[in-house]
Amino acid sequence: SLCRIGTAALAVQVVGSNWPKPHYTLLVTGLCRFQILQLLKEKPYPVAEVEQLDRLEQFTNQHKSEEELGELSEQFYKYAVQVNCFNPMYQCIYMYVWGFLSVSYLPFSLCSLIFFNAVRLEERFKMTIPLLVRQIEGLKLLQKTRKPKQDDDKRVVAIRPNRRINHIPSITEDEEEEEDHDDVVMLEKKIRTSSMSEQALKVCLKEIKRLKKMPQSMPEYALTRNYLELMVELPWNKSTKDRLEIRAARILLDNDHYAMEKLKKRVLEYLAVRQLKNNLKGPILCFVGPPGVGKTSVGRSIAKTLGREFHRIALGGVCDQSDIRGHRRTYVGSMPGRIINGLKTVGVNNPVFLLDEVDKLGKSLQGDPAAALLEVLDPEQNHSFTDHHLNVAFDLSQVLFIATANTTATIPPALLDRMEIIQVPGYTQEEKIEIAHRHLIPKQLEQHGLTPQQIQIPQVTTLDIITRYTREAGVRSLDRKLGAICRAVAVKVAEGQHKETKPDRAEAGEGEDCKEHVTEDAKTESISDTADLALPPEMPILIDFHALKDILGPPMYETEVSERLSQPGVAIGLAWTPLGGEIMFVEASRMDGEGQLTLTGQLGDVMKESAHLAISWLRSNAKRYQLTNASGSFDLLDNTDIHLHFPAGAVTKDGPSAGVTIVTCLASLFSGRLVCSDVAMTGEITLRGLVLPVGGIKDKVLAAHRAGLKRIIIPRRNEKDLEEIALNVRQDLTFVMASCLDEVLNAAFDGGFAVKPRVERLNSKL
Ligand code: ADP
């Protein structure tokens, strides 16, 4: 089993162990090749008489003519150089060409690559030369199929095969350098002809001077070059011409967006002032509202009305100052910030920048991005905004910034101070239906390649989607559901088209009731062989409630209000979240104990304090309202523990507005009476029993309306906020204005909440 030819080697190192399994690694240095002449013994290890191969005298002495070998070597050299020019990655050839490898070794190393058996050098040359020739031809062909490149040919011609050169690639290096030099000259020309500011020009010319002296291999070379290219690309003086016409802007805004009257009015005012006064140093507009109410899309419309470029910068989660201001150029891989990058992308210096989600800016060890935004947004400062990467001022005063946020609570005060907040509240159900039919459905039909002749979504279905499949202030989820319906219908329509091309199948179902909706179709689809026999659905496919259930699954939300209020100790509060208004069931229970109050549902400190306030007020008014604990004592906490729970326990809640709800809920618990099932309430309380105003009234009222509630108790001082609410919503609801807790309790319980009249005895002095 021994090979005839082997390699003699010197063992340099043996590493390994016998445990758990014998495993050794042997490091050897190869010495030369040999050939076995005779095997002397096999055991315990083979011993043989060998003869060394590849000895130099072998080549010179044994050959009939040295000339033949010389010729072969020259020939080989010529081809090897050519192959190397095509691809310098052939390392053994490269080493040979550079003189690191002796001529006799080269064919060996090539042979080892190609794997064939030839012992003598002459033989090896003869075998490898045709292979090299073939390789060169292949490479030439490959090059022809690529884009013809002059320099490659030049390189091949430039090599003189008969001469042993030790440093061939210098020619190509020179060429590259020359090319790069040309590029730098071009870049310099571009810099001089660009319209950059004087300060920037000065910096650029200094940098280009440095670049010319710098060797290309330095990492800084690429960095400087990229920097200069960016400087040339930036729109220093390039802008689009505003085509602002207020009447057209009004039409465009109305066409793109339904409702949002307040927002559209303010935007038009802003644009009107801009039309009258060209460089407006006005405040930055910030649209604040729940997701999906059209904040981003209004921003886009503003850009469209002005005829400006639009660029959105998402700031959610940005927690590094360099994201806004860029990295200093001392860092490898440094980049400009998002503002400068945005300008480079749009290519003009007066775009509309939408700073999306400014309330979700983070903070970290890398600095506060909100602080960096201060300079960007301040009209007094932003004409000389300095990005760390550019290190020269760029004029941002022509850029129109618009910001969006879900809540103002998390916007840093300094940033908030520079912006004018425009609240964009959620939509009513009627508004949502209109938006769906005017904007969302036509858009979805277009996206899915459908026409109104193929699908029909009546308004009742839209209402069903809104009430049973979504619970949101905006319309994003509604849009997604409509998308899902369109997808399902697209399948049916495509299938129908397919079937129409096979008339024999369609005829098979003749006489049957052709009218079907997606539900029935889906049923037939489940039985694969009958599916093919089904008729193409009759157009338009009507989406009714059954079809809806089939496509979107069973309804996700049902009105559960009356069910949950069937016991004492439950009341409905109204909460405001960044996602819009929500109704919230507050539950209370009591048990034997030591007068402790347990609060659950991830409450913030302010809410916990409200709970304590409510208990204290009820304890101090227990006699007046005839409230007793389980053993009939007016001391409500005597031998009693109270547990208050705010459902959706995983969501953190805070704020003072649950005060009245907690009082009502506890009053119900201690009086054993049920709170009216159609009442919701909101308001802050004081220890003296006053009801103070709270925020987010519009969103809260809309949430109560969505949930089908009829009566809403709000603080009297919030009465003015009701004007913002659409008339049809106001007509559906009854509002109770309360200035003290007595009024709240009277409205929350059927037939009022009895107050024991205070008996004031007047003792006559007479
Ligand atoms: P936001 O930025 O407030 O989260 P978007 O601007 O992304 O919301 O709006 C989500 C989708 O809803 C968009 O497709 C938008 O066109 C649509 N939309 C929202 N409000 C309206 C409206 N009043 N009229 C027409 N389409 C609307």
pLDDT at 295 over 60: yes
Average pLDDT of every residue of the chain: 80
Name the pLDDT band for 180 (thresholds 50, 70, 90).
low
Show Cβ contacts of residue 306 under 8 Å, excluding neighbours closer than 6 positions.
242, 243, 244, 249, 271, 352, 400
Q: Locate 484 and state its tokens.
A: 């899902």
Report how far residue 423's alpha carbon sits from residue 703's, in angstroms, rounded to the nearest whole number. 17
Name the pLDDT band for 344 (thresholds 50, 70, 90).
very high
pLDDT in tens, 597-620: 888 888 888 888 989 999 999 888
Contact 581, 474 (CB under 8 A): no
Name the pLDDT band for 527 (thresholds 50, 70, 90).
very low
297 lines ligand 1 (CB under 6 A): yes
Q: pTM of the entire structure?
A: 0.62
pLDDT of residue 93: 57
Ligand 1, residues 252, 439, 443: which to mutate, most atoms within 8 A of Cβ?
Answer: 439
Mean pLDDT of 669-683: 87
293 lines ligand 1 (CB under 6 A): yes
257 lines ligand 1 (CB under 6 A): yes
Secondary-structure breakdown of the chain: helix, strand, coil percentages, each rounded to the nearest 5: 45, 15, 35
Please give the number of the atom of ligand 1 that sits closest to the Cα of 294.
Answer: 6
657 assigned to active site: yes
pLDDT in tens, 718-755: 999 888 888 888 888 899 999 999 889 888 888 777 66
Q: Locate 281 and state its tokens.
A: 């140093």
532-541: buried (b, 16+ CB within 10 Å) or exposed (e) per residue? eebbbbeebb
pLDDT in tens, 631-641: 777 887 788 88
Contact 92, 101 (CB under 8 A): yes
Ligand 1, residues 476, 477, 480: which to mutate, most atoms within 8 A of Cβ?
Answer: 476
Q: What single DSSP character describes residue 758?
A: P
Bridge-based pairing state of the strands 23-41 and 5-17 = antiparallel
pLDDT of residue 170: 41
Q: What percent of the chain has pLDDT over 70?
A: 79
Report how far residue 286's alpha carbon sits from residue 424's, in angstroms, rounded to the nearest whole number. 10
| Sign of CA pseudo-dihedral 542, 543, 549, 552 | positive
pLDDT in tens, 359-384: 888 877 777 888 888 888 888 888 88
Mean pLDDT of 451-465: 90
447 lines ligand 1 (CB under 6 A): no
**Amino acid residing at 713:** I
Least confident of 171-180, 302-311, 693-702, 747-756: 171-180
Q: Is 292 annotated as a binding residue?
A: yes
Show Cβ contacts of residue 622 under 8 Å, excluding neighbours closer than 6 positions.
628, 634, 635, 636, 670
Report how far residue 495's alpha carbon sits from residue 292's, in angstroms, rounded to the nearest whole number. 33
pLDDT of residue 483: 94
Mean pLDDT of 425-452: 90
Show Cβ contacts of residue 432 under 8 Å, excluding neighbours closer than 6 positions.
462, 466, 475, 478
Beta bridge mates, 8: 32
pLDDT of residue 735: 92
pLDDT of residue 703: 86
Beta bridge mates, 6: 34
363 lines ligand 1 (CB under 6 A): no
| Sign of CA pseudo-dihedral 354, 355, 356, 359 | negative
Comparing C-alpha atoms, which of 726, 703, 717, 699 is closest to residue 407? 699
The rounded Å distance from CA 257 to ligand 1 centre is 8
Least confident of 113-117, 128-132, 710-714: 113-117
The rounded Å distance from CA 475 to ligand 1 centre is 7
259 lines ligand 1 (CB under 6 A): yes
| Phi, psi of 685, deg, nearest 5 | -120, 160
What one-character-per-residue DSSP string does 637-665 give?
TTTEEEEEE-SSTTS-B--GGGHHHHHHH
Q: Is 452 annotated as a binding residue?
A: no
Contact 404, 390 (CB under 8 A): no
The rounded Å distance from CA 435 to ligand 1 centre is 9
Report how far residue 427's alpha carbon sits from residue 580's, in angstroms, rounded to the nearest whole number. 9
Mean pLDDT of 648-658: 74
Name the pLDDT band for 532 (thresholds 50, 70, 90).
very low
540 cis-preceded (ω within 30 degrees of 0): yes
pLDDT at 439 over 60: yes
pLDDT of residue 234: 92
Query: How many alpha carbons lie under 13 Å from residue 49 in its C-beta half-sphere?
Result: 3
pLDDT at 103 over 50: yes
Please give the number of the atom of ligand 1 that sits closest to the Cα of 300.
Answer: 6
Least confident of 138-147, 323-332, 659-668: 138-147
For residue 372, how many other CB atoms are within 10 A of its CB?
A: 23
Name the pLDDT band for 353 (thresholds 50, 70, 90).
very high
Name the pLDDT band for 319 (thresholds 50, 70, 90).
confident
pLDDT of residue 505: 43
Domains of the chain with CATH codes? 5-55+65-138 (no CATH), 246-423 (3.40.50.300), 427-494+539-558 (1.10.8.60), 564-748 (3.30.230.10)
- Listed ranges 148-162, 559-573, 716-730; the one with the highest mean pLDDT: 716-730
Q: Is 691 annotated as a binding residue?
A: no
Least confident of 1-5, 333-337, 651-655, 676-680: 651-655
Report how far residue 199's alpha carbon sits from residue 276's, in angstroms, rounded to the nearest whole number. 32
Choose, from 264, 481, 698, 700, the residue flagged as catalytic.
Answer: 700
